[in-house]
Amino acid sequence: MVKITIYAEGGGDTRLQQASCRKGFSEFFRKVDIKLSVIACGGRLTAYKDFCKALKTCKKDEYCLLLVDSEAPVTNISKWQHVLLREGDKWQKPDNATEEHLHFMVECMEAWFMVDKKTLADSYGKEFNHNALSKNTNIDSISKQDLYATLNNATCKTTKGGHSKCGHSFELLSRINANEVIKNSSYAENLCKILKEPEKHLPSN
């Protein structure tokens, strides 16, 4: 059996935040029958560096991948070209890495929440403003700025006091309908398709 390890952007600097990140991703993928290990790396650069190190020592029966936000619209180029050309990244594709080793949670992970607005509203409770959320139904194309702005507008009057990326995002990730995310995001669909057949994407070293 192939062991899958995801090096994920997110989780902050504390053990509690990292545990919440691991739990959120693990529960999300469990709902679609994918068992894996999650390394909560904190910042995106740390996630990239940790992934590069792991890929060098990856065993023959282990599939390591990098999961980050794209941070910007993805044009008609490869994912590795996207992070190479993006001003904030300039990441080189590691040796032995393929397109199947890098995956995006679209511009940011919060886009996934837009397919399950009921769970989002239930999580924040009374005073949640459903009408303030983005009306864009193509979650792969919702901008990061639009997501954060609409989430803050929808949640600012709730008892939780507005959306917090570290405080609320991974709890929501563990609760949302993963199948709806896959159905509505080509990036999530491709990721889960690969994770269900990891033996086809093992490095050739």
- Reported as a single tens digit per residue, the pLDDT across 28-70 is 999 999 999 999 999 999 999 999 999 999 888 899 999 999 9
pTM (2 d.p.): 0.94
In this predicted structure, what is the pLDDT of residue 204? 57
- The pair of three-digit structure tokens given for residue 167, joined into one six-digit string: 């405080």
In which residue ranges of the chain is pLDDT below 70?
165-167, 203-205
Residue 67, CA distances (Å) to 7, 90, 107, 164 in order: 6, 16, 12, 20
Q: Hey, where are the domains in the chain?
A: 3-109+176-201, 110-165
In this predicted structure, what is the pLDDT of residue 178? 97
- Going by C-alpha positions, the residue among 176, 190, 180, 183 that lies closest to residue 74 is 190
Task: Using CB atoms within 10 Å of the CB of residue 55, give its burial: 0 to 12 exposed, 13 to 18 middle, 19+ buried.
Answer: buried
